[in-house]
Amino acid sequence: MRRLSLRGQIASQLILALVALFVLIPIWTLAYLAFDGGVSGWPTEFRIWPEQFTLGVFRQVWQRAVEGFGYPDMLRNSLFVSGGAAVLAVGCGASMAYAFARLRFPGKRVGLFALLLGALLPPVALMTPLYILLTALHLRTTLLGLTLVYTSFSLPFCIWNMRAAFQAVPKDLEESAFMDGADHLTAFWRVTLPLAIPSIAIAGLIAFLIGYSEFAMGWLFVSKNADVTLAMAISGMLSDGFASWSNMAALAMLMSVPVVLICLVLHRYLLSGLLGGLADSEG
C-alpha cells in the first residue's frame, strides 16, 4: 500500500474534518434546540449553547407531543410496526433467500429479477395496489396493515442480502450434515442460519429502520390519532406550522434513542457482518 505524502495527509485530514463538521453541526443544532427553552417559532440564529437551558421541553413532549398523545404512545406504535416489519421480513425472507441460494427450481432467475425490480421501485409505486389489497382485507386503517406495508418495502432487500450471506457459507458444511442424515431444513437451521447471523442482523436492522423512519405512506394507512408513529408526528409538526422547533428537536432526539440502543445491542453482529462483507469484496 502506497503511503501518502505530508501534503496528501494534510489534505485528506482537512477533507475528513469538513465531512465531520457537515455531519456533526446539524446534530449539535438539534441538540441545543431540544434543550433551549428560549426558542419560539422558527430559529433565527445559530448558537453554540442554549440560551435558556431547560429539560421542560422533553417533559412536555413526553407527556403531550401532538394531538394529546405523548412520546410513549407513539413509541409503542413505532416499535410495533417497525419491529413487526423487521420480524416478518427476516422470517419470511430467510427461507426464500435460502431457496434462491441453494436450490434449483424453474423460474429462479425470473424470481430474482422480480425481487430486484421490487427493491428498486419507489414506495409510492406500491401505494395503489397496497391500498386496494388492505382495504379488501379490512386492514387498511390498522397498525397491522401498516406493518404489512413496511414489510413489503423491506422484504426484497432482506432476501437479496440474506441470499448473499447463505451463498457465503461453504457448501462442504451442509454436505457434511447431509452425510450425517440431515435434510435441507435441518441443515438450514443447524448449520447455515447460525453462520449467517451477522448478515441477518443487518437485514433486520435495515428493515426496522425503514418502518421506523417512514412517514409519507403512513398517513395513507392511518386514520386515528392514536395510531400515529413518531416519524409521522414529526412530519405533522413540520406541515402544520407548529409553534416551537424545540418540541420537534426534543421529539427527534427521543426518537433516536431506541435506534441507538438497538445498534449497541447488535454491534457485535453488525461489525461482523460489515467486516465479512468487506472481506468478500476484497477477495
Question: What is the number of residues in the chain?
Answer: 283
| Contacts of 160 by beta carbon, 8 Å cutoff, 6+ apart | 97, 115, 116, 119
Distance, in Å, from the CA atom of 155 to the CA atom of 207, rounded to the nearest integer, reads 8
Q: Model pTM greater than 0.95?
A: no
User: Left if phi > 0, otherwise alpha if psi is -120 to 50, otherwise beta: which for 5?
Assistant: beta
Distance, in Å, from the CA atom of 211 to the CA atom of 198, rounded to the nearest integer, reads 20
Task: Out of 57-66, 74-83, 196-205, 210-219, pick the least confident.
Answer: 57-66
Mean pLDDT of 11-39: 85
Structural domains of the chain in order of their starting residue, each with its CATH number: 63-282 (1.10.3720.10)
- Statement: residue 46 has pLDDT above 80: no
- Statement: residue 1 has pLDDT above 80: no
**What share of the chain in percent tops pLDDT 90?**
19
Three-state DSSP state, 41: strand
- Statement: residue 239 has pLDDT above 60: yes
pLDDT digits (tens, 9 = 90+) for 66-111: 767 788 999 999 999 999 999 999 999 998 898 888 888 888 889 8
- Given this model, what pLDDT does residue 283 score? 45
Three-state DSSP state, 45: coil
- Given this model, what pLDDT does residue 280 score? 46
267 — pLDDT class (breaks 50, 70, 90): confident
Distance, in Å, from the CA atom of 36 to the CA atom of 253, rounded to the nearest integer, reads 13
Give strand pairing partners of 21.
none
- Statement: residue 180 has pLDDT above 70: yes
